[in-house]
């Protein structure tokens, strides 16, 4: 059994192994800055440029003569090298690569993972570590959530208060959605533009594109704490330290969930000024504008919003958000980019067809189905499989691995309109790197196989066997992962108890149980 995740599309195993000698050399026709091997006359590793292969395709042959890789560019060559790395268990200090012939290419072009740093800030070191994990697993899009109600995490030179005010909060809600408990500890942090450039370059070397998310018109409370005049009413509010509506409802706060004003033209200029600076930092062809969970209550009584509605002949306030989305689609087209937004951007009919809808909700969304089956593009991040911030009692490893787009209304004839899949990591209840690792792994391994390997070649039992062989690499890489009893729960009553604790009392229960099981060697 080959220790390889994700499973390749085609694989023929041989008899024997190849070992790189102490002075092993490489011959390469593709520039690979990360490849740290000398060139030589008798190379053990040969990398041949083959323009008949796609950008992310590769072929790999290991026999007694050494390792032969064919690819059209660095992406395919690097993915082949990641396969060699895993097959040879290089991370564990080993160096025996089994004889094999592989032809491989990804099922989807978008193979993504998100990181929410608005709720909790983690910093450059962890982000680079995450990018390295993605590279190893042939994941290629990092969705970076850099703003929300509880924190603004990116420097904007034209609007310095966004970080001076918006990146800091006085407290954080703890113990789950149903509690009103707060920790009383200040939390802050943001990335300078130089930090962003460094991380984007680091990711690009590892075949990872980064899509930033700056939410509009809702989830903008941290921005409004800095620039309150951009809301319908100029009310000074602190950056929120709570998540959801439990605490504000308990405190009688009726204006906690205010969006940007859609009736003031200066607001659109404010948004595009911010996006102008961010676009200079992120070369990826997509930009995420959020667009979800917008409470339109304030727009209903705002004279500026109502004036615009009358001028445009709008029948309801949701059309104000549609107006914004369409304007942003045109704005980004001029920059050579496409808008991505959560599936709520499709709530009103008539959206610009260039917009990409990210399908996240648990409930079936008929408008997403119509969008994708009539030529619109989508990314699938369905709650049931890809919400990695949920405990394993709710989102098991098997739930991730068993994903199929056809369960969510995508017709087989239109599967080409699915750009790919992406797992979400919201961090309301994740404050440490240790817990981030635990929530990502081994679900990230399952995600990589679902994104890379054709559905007809996938088998959960086979995946679990390869994963079991893979666990020694976790230790070598210093990754805290969920043991089998946690990631593949078998007792529904116990799972129900854990789920209840997650919502009301102990969001770290699984993490603590995992630590106990790991120490006992019960993996």
Catalytic residue positions, numbered: 148, 219, 293
DSSP per position, 78-126: HHHHHHHHHHTTGGGT---EEEEEEEE--S-SEEEEEEE-SSS---HHH
Is the preceding omega at residue 217 within 30 degrees of 0, hence cis?
yes
- CA–CA separation, 169 vs 186, rounded Å? 6
Q: Are 211 and 288 in contact (CB under 8 A)?
A: yes
What length is written for the chain?
Answer: 523
- CA–CA separation, 339 vs 291, rounded Å? 11
- CA–CA separation, 145 vs 153, rounded Å? 9
Q: What are phi and psi of 327, to 5 degrees?
A: -65, -40
What secondary structure letter does DSSP report for 417?
G
Q: Which residues of 33-70 are buried (b: 16+ CB within 10 A; e: fewer)?
A: eeeebeeeeebbbbbeebeebeebbbbbbbeeebbbbb
Residues 6 or more apart in contact with residue 179 via CB below 8 angstroms: 173, 246, 504, 505
- CA–CA separation, 60 vs 171, rounded Å? 52
CA nearest to 459, candidates 467, 387, 419: 467
* Assigned token pair, 306: 């109502």
Q: What is the dihedral of CA 337, 272, 425, 380, to 10 degrees?
A: -40
Q: Are 26 and 122 in contact (CB under 8 A)?
A: no
3-state secondary structure of 422: strand
């Amino acid at each position: 059994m080959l220790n390889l995740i994700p499973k390749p599309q085609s694989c023929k195993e041989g008899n024997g192994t190849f070992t790189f000698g102490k002075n092993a050399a490489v011959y390469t026709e593709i520039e690979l800055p990360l490849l740290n091997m000398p060139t030589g006359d008798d190379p053990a590793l040969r990398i041949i440029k083959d323009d008949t292969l796609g950008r992310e395709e590769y072929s790999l042959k290991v026999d007694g003569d050494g390792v032969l890789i064919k690819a059209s560019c660095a992406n395919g060559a690097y993915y082949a090298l990641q396969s060699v790395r895993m097959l040879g268990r290089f991370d564990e200090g080993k160096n025996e690569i089994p004889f094999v012939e592989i032809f491989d290419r990804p099922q989807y072009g978008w193979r993504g993972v998100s990181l929410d740093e608005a709720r909790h800030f983690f910093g450059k070191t962890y982000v680079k570590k995450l990018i390295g994990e993605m590279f190893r697993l042939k994941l290629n899009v990092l969705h970076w959530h850099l703003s929300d109600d509880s924190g603004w995490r990116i420097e904007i030179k034209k609007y310095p208060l966004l970080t001076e005010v918006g990146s800091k909060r006085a407290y954080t809600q703890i113990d789950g959605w149903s509690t009103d408990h707060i920790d009383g500890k200040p939390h802050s942090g943001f990335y300078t533009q130089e930090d962003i450039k460094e991380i984007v370059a680091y990711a690009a070397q590892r075949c990872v594109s980064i899509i930033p998310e700056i939410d509009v018109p809702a989830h903008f409370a941290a921005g409004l704490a800095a620039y309150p005049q951009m809301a319908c009413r100029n009310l000074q509010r602190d950056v929120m330290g709570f998540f959801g509506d439990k605490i504000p409802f308990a405190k009688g706060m009726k204006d906690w969930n205010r969006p940007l004003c859609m009736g003031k033209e200066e607001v659109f200029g404010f948004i595009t000024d911010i996006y102008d600076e961010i676009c200079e930092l992120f070369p990826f062809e997509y930009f995420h504008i959020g667009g979800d969970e917008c409470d339109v209550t304030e727009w209903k009584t705002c004279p500026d919003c109502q004036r615009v509605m009358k001028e445009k002949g709008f029948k309801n306030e949701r059309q104000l958000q549609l107006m914004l989305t369409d304007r942003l689609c045109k704005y980004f087209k001029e920059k050579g980019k496409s808008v991505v937004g959560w599936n709520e951007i499709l709530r009103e009919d008539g959206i610009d067809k260039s917009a990409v809808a990210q399908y996240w909700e648990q409930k079936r969304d008929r408008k997403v189905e119509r969008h994708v089956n009539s030529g619109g593009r989508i990314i699938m991040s369905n709650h049931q499989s890809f919400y990695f911030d949920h405990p394993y009692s709710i989102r098991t490893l098997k739930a991730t691995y068993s994903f199929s787009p056809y369960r969510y209304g995508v017709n087989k004839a239109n599967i080409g309109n699915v750009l790919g899949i992406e797992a979400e990591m919201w961090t309301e209840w994740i404050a440490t790197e240790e817990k981030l690792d635990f929530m990502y792994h081994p679900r990230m391994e399952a995600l990589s196989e679902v994104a890379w390997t054709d559905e007809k070649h996938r088998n959960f039992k086979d995946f679990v066997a390869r994963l079991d062989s893979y666990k020694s690499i976790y230790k070598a890489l210093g990754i805290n992962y969920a043991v089998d009893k946690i990631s593949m729960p078998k007792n529904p009553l116990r799972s129900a108890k854990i789920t209840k604790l997650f919502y009301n009392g102990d969001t770290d229960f699984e993490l603590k149980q995992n630590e106990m099981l790991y120490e006992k060697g019960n993996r």
